[in-house]
């Protein structure tokens, strides 16, 4: 497993296990499978309603927390300084941890204009030693600029939708300049037609890998942190087995041509739901 050194010196695995839309029951088994398969980072959130299951899996794995890297996120409904502190305590109780590795503001929800205040609560948790690193998710450049102008502790990552159909080169360049890692969510675009792209199929043949492995390897070589999700044991293993080959510059350039600025999720400026 490759690790990336975040801008505060903390080491984060470059590939982790995402658990969005995995219910509290299934999440125990699939997270355990992931840890057994070598994953050391788990990406959950208050909104996923499965933190208790993730916590159970961590305990059952027998791997000490120091060797794992657990991320959670505060949901829009808990934006604001005090509500965020409360959401954090609830997440920690469910996860059964006393210290989190990474805590993120899930969406900027700009209509409500609370993300700066919300991030101040993350800074307090960081200063208090409750969390080893803090960051944001779904932040556009305009949100990042505003945050960087006011914050004391810069975010270590910006977790955004990113895959070959939405390559996010502008945000990536901005984040690189500011020493913030891009973390790709929906890295496989949840499967389907993207696996049928000629370029992806050709590279899968060339390297004797699957389309999913080619796409995940592309994220790694784009210097992104990546958190694919699966509940299927064989795919959980497949998705981490990407560290034994390297795409050439030409292969990377060919995948770059697939960009069509096409999202699965909402644009962050339109994601203002609070419930």
* Of residues 70 and 97, the one with the C-beta less far from ligand NAD: 70
256's CB contacts (< 8 A; 6+ apart) are 167
Beta strands in 173-243 (DSSP E): 181-185, 225-226
Q: For ligand NAD, how many residues bind (rule: CB under 6 A)?
A: 24
Least distance from C-beta 78 to ligand NAD, angstroms? Answer: 15
The answer to whether residue 162 forms part of the interface with ligand NAD (CB under 6 A) is no
Q: What mask, x for binding ligand NAD by CB under 6 A, covers residues 12 to 31?
A: ------xxx-----------
102 torsion bin: left (phi>0), alpha (psi -120 to 50), beta (else): beta
160: which strand partners? 184
Contacting ligand NAD within 105-124 (CB under 6 A): 106
Closest to ligand NAD by CB, 155 vs 228, is 228
Pick from 239, 175, 199, 263: which is nearest to 41 by CA? 239
Of the pair 210, 221, the CB lying nearest ligand NAD is at: 210
Q: At what angle do helices 24-36 and 51-61 cross, to 10 degrees?
A: 40
**At 59, is the secondary structure helix, strand, or coil?**
helix
Binding mask 69-108 for ligand NAD (x = CB under 6 A): -------------------------------------x--
Which residues neighbour 139 within 8 Å (Cβ) at sequence distance 6 or greater? 105, 108, 147, 155, 158, 160, 268
- Interacting span for ligand NAD (CB under 6 A) from 50-58, 81-89, 127-135, 180-188: 180-188
For residues 201 and 214, what is the distance between their CA atoms, to the nearest angstrom? 9
Site track for ligand NAD across 218-237, x = CB under 6 A: ---------xxxx----x--
Give the one residue of 147, 186, 204, 224 binding ligand NAD; rule: CB under 6 A: 186
Q: Which residues, other chains included, contact 208 with Cβ-Cβ below 8 Å and sequence gap of 6+? A: none
Catalytic residues: 48
Q: Give contact residues for ligand NAD (rule: CB under 6 A).
A: 18-20, 43, 106, 137-138, 159, 185-191, 210, 212, 227-230, 235, 238-239
């Amino acid at each position: 497993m490759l690790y990336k050194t975040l801008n505060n010196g903390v080491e984060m695995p470059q590939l982790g296990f995402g658990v969005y839309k995995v219910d509290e029951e299934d999440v125990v088994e699939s997270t355990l499978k992931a840890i057994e398969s070598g994953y050391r980072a788990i990406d959950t959130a208050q909104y996923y309603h499965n933190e208790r299951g993730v916590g159970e899996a961590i305990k059952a794995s027998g791997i000490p927390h120091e060797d794992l890297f657990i991320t959670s996120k505060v949901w829009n409904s808990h934006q604001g300084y005090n509500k965020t502190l409360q959401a954090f305590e609830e997440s920690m109780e469910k996860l059964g941890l006393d210290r989190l590795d990474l805590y993120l503001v899930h969406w900027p929800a700009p209509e409500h204009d609370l993300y700066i205040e919300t991030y101040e609560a993350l800074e307090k948790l960081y200063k208090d030693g409750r969390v080893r690193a803090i960051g944001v998710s779904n932040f556009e450049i305009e949100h990042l600029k505003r945050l960087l102008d006011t914050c004391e502790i810069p975010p270590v990552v910006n977790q955004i939708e990113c895959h070959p159909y939405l390559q996010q080169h502008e945000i990536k360049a901005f984040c690189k300049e500011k020493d913030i890692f891009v973390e790709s969510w929906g890295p496989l675009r949840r499967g389907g037609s993207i696996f049928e792209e000629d370029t992806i199929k050709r590279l899968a043949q060339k390297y004797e890998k699957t389309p999913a492995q080619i796409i995940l390897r592309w994220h790694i070589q784009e210097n992104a942190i990546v958190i694919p999700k699966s509940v299927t044991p064989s795919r959980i293993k497949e998705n981490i087995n990407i560290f034994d080959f390297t795409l050439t510059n030409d292969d990377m350039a060919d995948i770059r041509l697939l960009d069509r600025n096409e999202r699965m999720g909402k644009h962050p400026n339109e994601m203002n739901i609070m419930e």
